[in-house]
Structure 1
């Protein structure tokens, strides 16, 4: 059973040539992942080797158990603000517990097949917090770019900006020169050598220059965080208590949601590039397992990395083997070259993370949504500002709440109730609203078109709209509900209240009701209260029935002539000729 689940479709037609392609792509991605892994760890407030451990362990597990053939997992920039906040508030040990709890949540989300629900998170929210995270990362690297001294890092964005301004007079010329060299190389390398990772070339070149020409003049990883060990990470289970779980469940949930969004977005990008299809629930299971195991070796939370996944595909990856190879190569490099990484200047890492922030900012989509000047623009701006000036937890919560409220408001405005009558000029007597006038409106039968969902957002105004529409109480009301796509129990209560009040002296007829609203009425008993004989599939048949229920005495001398039958009814002469009306 497990082997069938594990291997299904992932290695079909795999060959030696496929392995060679996976080997090359895995090597290239590993080279890119090393500086990013260290950089993301440093920016998150932990030691750089923890980022490498995450790259190795999470990268291998996500490739082994994930739902995308091409996904590359590891630490990502999106996690930086939330991880840094946890480290500042709770400490590194508790970060490991939060990551493990997030892994359990991701695993359960996959088991209970919640992967498809992630796509329902509104786009303005994802763009808002992604852009906010990008700004936070970019500003967070300014101090290292200019080599500012005595900088104290804060959880709040505005405090970090104030800290930079207050210490800008401590600019280190050598750090700035090192950062500029790295930045220039990172920018121009892809223009001439598309398959050579510019971040690695920039990192190596700027490090060599700094080491040869001005050693001891710039802060390095080693001088700031200590030497990077070439030893393998040790297995250790963090001390988990009930109190810690209670305190960390909120941050862990944010990590899980953010990890799910990032990984599934990355998998979608991979699908678009390869014309393949990932398994979203399996991807969440793989992400969950990775985040459960990685903290046991000192690693930080991980997710699917869009840029590294795209690079993996561009370099010819054929299967998850490339992701496994990427993790193994990083492990080999750690063992052989780990101590040498201690000589890397922090100023060399800063421009790499700044470029990552620039690329992840979604600036084009951000300004496009902003220009629409709609409710989405409000959600976008609020989520963005809260991400920057508060934290991503508050941003996502408030963003979702605001999106739901605005959506509800939009849906409530979409409910339309309008009177309609048959258009005698049309071939089949099609029902139209615009032909209802003061001089042509049946006093006994009101035909009401109900368009839009009948749910909690519209229930309060439904009855009032109907009362305003019919003006005076008719004998019969015919609801044309073919355009009611959805009804919840709150909407049913509103309809039921009106119906029971109206049926004290009148008759309610409903036509065209769809299956979902029909099931709701049957479950609540309103279907039985109205009467099965008062439900019709087509308006024409419903109207024929309604005409048989008229008080013919009231039709005498009526001048409205709403229906073709009115000519005979107003004079007291009855014809049996059948009239057919359009739906």
Structure 2
């Protein structure tokens, strides 16, 4: 209910989401321990969608996001979600946590604003600062009490339902003392005592096009959040989830949630971890979670009217604090300049621009930094320089066989080793290194045994070097190339009669000497 209210919708929609969507996530998902429902990470996106497209637009976007997730799972795209870099997830999660906390300051302090609360962070903080004199001491006290009870129980009674105890205590105090605070009843009129009948949201082509970007953002964040939650469950239980099956279940759950008027469904890390710690053994625990929520609606809906909004704001404040991975954020800032740049870009873009931009820009920066680091790891070295390194590696326990020392004095056959992932990022530096080769032997042997992968740009670079040396009358041998590497080279013209492939450097050197000897005979 707290997440639904913070998202700009009524609290009952949060319950519909957990009951319908949560049941299907547990029943059909690829993780045996996943708990599905509304998540704090979606608050920013859902609130923005409601403000722009209204409730009908939100429901339609949720339906479309479910179809996108369903399609992604069927196309087996779930395996690629794991490639979202860690600094990006820490950055946007911390950004969302800050936005959630800022959105709850009004309720935490019981402030009265002269107009609607601004959406962007800086104008929001300015408006809240101007409204600070209107602080409601009773609301602030209840919020503080709620946070204190949650923290106390988490430390001293971790198996107790701390959130429920804190909310119940705050509600009882607010009612018995007749405190002048807003409640679910005074603002929303309570919650219904049954589920609504399923129905399709109103649609049109223009409306679908308008909400499609929001649906894509829901699907992207939902896939990341749910699969991260499944990974957390795996680490706690020792089991392995099925990522594509999980995405299919998330898709079905979002479609069903929208039909009942619910909002976005995803796997929730905190609730899933609680499920595991409470002794769950399979998906039935998650399904019962939804059944208990349904029973609450059917039997105890009138009690929800007494819940103070300040207490719910206290719950969300603790959620935001736990979402922000403070230690991870600090560690990444100190790890390297690259990680710090990616982290801060994702964090600041999420706060001041848009969550989707934060994820995409952070991902692009991470990819560029990775390519730069991989390109720096590719080296071209002659056998004479590598002899001492290989001997040292062997002494240190490296089982890579060193080159024959005789190669250092061989003037007829020169051996060069390329090491590392040879791709477009390293092609220019490798080409420059090959162009700088000053020797004029009768044969070159290029050792590819330390090249795990090669792309078309790198293959074309080798093809250019081969043709250049052929014009100089020098034979070329490629040794130790793995099957995929050899296939790429052959595809781009690196084949006989330009070059000869050999299994080892020794075979290539022996063959080169035999050809040289044969050619030198009258």
TM-score scaled by structure 2? 0.92
1:483-526 deviation line (CA, Å, top 9, x unaligned): 11111112212221222222222221110111221121233332
Show the counterpart of 1:164.
Answer: 128
1:364-419 deviation line (CA, Å, top 9, x unaligned): 11111111124122211111111111111100110111111111111111111111
Matched, 1:515 2:483: yes
Q: Structure 1 159/443 Cα, relative in aligned 2: closer, same or farther at 3 Å?
A: farther
Matched, 1:197 2:161: yes
Matched, 1:547 2:492: no
Q: Structure 1 44/430 Cα, relative in aligned 2: closer, same or farther at 3 Å?
A: same
467, 471, 477: which one aligns with 2:444: 477
Q: How does 1:482-497 map to 2 (within 5 A)?
A: 482-497=449-464
Question: How far is the alpha carbon of 1:444 from its aligned partner?
Answer: 4.5
The structure number with the bigger radius of gyration is: 1
Distance 1:80 1:429 in 2: 57
Kindly indicate whether the alpha-carbon contact (under 8 Å) linking 1:107 and 1:289 is maintained by their aligned counterparts in 2. Answer: yes
Please give the root-mean-square deviation of Cα atoms over the aligned residues, in Å.
2.5
Distance 2:299 2:382 in 1: 80
SS for the counterpart of 1:447 is strand
Kindly indicate whether the alpha-carbon contact (under 8 Å) linking 1:125 and 1:399 is maintained by their aligned counterparts in 2. Answer: yes
Kindly indicate whether the alpha-carbon contact (under 8 Å) linking 1:152 and 1:163 is maintained by their aligned counterparts in 2. Answer: no
Kindly indicate whether the alpha-carbon contact (under 8 Å) linking 1:251 and 1:393 is maintained by their aligned counterparts in 2. Answer: no
Kindly indicate whether the alpha-carbon contact (under 8 Å) linking 2:413 and 2:509 is maintained by their aligned counterparts in 1. Answer: no
Show the counterpart of 1:538.
Answer: 504
SS for the counterpart of 1:395 is helix
501, 506, 517: which one aligns with 2:468: 501
Question: How far is the alpha carbon of 1:141 from its aligned partner?
Answer: 1.0
134, 150, 156: which one aligns with 1:186: 150
Distance 1:410 1:316 in 2: 44
Kindly indicate whether the alpha-carbon contact (under 8 Å) linking 2:378 and 2:419 is maintained by their aligned counterparts in 1. Answer: yes
Q: How does 1:27-426 map to 2 (within 5 A)?
A: 38-150=1-113, 152-215=116-179, 217-421=180-384
Show the counterpart of 1:28.
Answer: none
Kindly indicate whether the alpha-carbon contact (under 8 Å) linking 1:88 and 1:155 is maintained by their aligned counterparts in 2. Answer: no
Distance 1:245 1:465 in 2: 54
403, 421, 445: which one aligns with 1:431: 403
Q: Structure 1 92/540 Cα, relative in aligned 2: closer, same or farther at 3 Å?
A: same
Q: Structure 1 325/429 Cα, relative in aligned 2: closer, same or farther at 3 Å?
A: closer
Unaligned runs of 5+ in 1: 1-37, 555-571, 573-583
Question: How far is the alpha carbon of 1:136 from its aligned partner?
Answer: 1.2
Task: Tell me the number of residue pairs that the alignment of Structure 1 and Structure 2 aligns.
Answer: 510
Distance 1:453 1:487 in 2: 6
Show the counterpart of 2:397.
Answer: none
Choose 289-298 or 181-190, whichever is displaced more: 181-190
Unaligned runs of 5+ in 2: 395-399
1:152-179 deviation line (CA, Å, top 9, x unaligned): 3333222222221121121111111111
Distance 1:102 1:224 in 2: 30
Q: Structure 1 327/430 Cα, relative in aligned 2: closer, same or farther at 3 Å?
A: closer
Q: Structure 1 110/553 Cα, relative in aligned 2: closer, same or farther at 3 Å?
A: closer
Kindly indicate whether the alpha-carbon contact (under 8 Å) linking 1:72 and 1:323 is maintained by their aligned counterparts in 2. Answer: yes
Choose 111-120 or 440-449, whichever is displaced more: 440-449
Question: How far is the alpha carbon of 1:443 from its aligned partner?
Answer: 5.2
SS for the counterpart of 1:71 is coil
Distance 1:423 1:492 in 2: 27
TM-score scaled by structure 1? 0.82
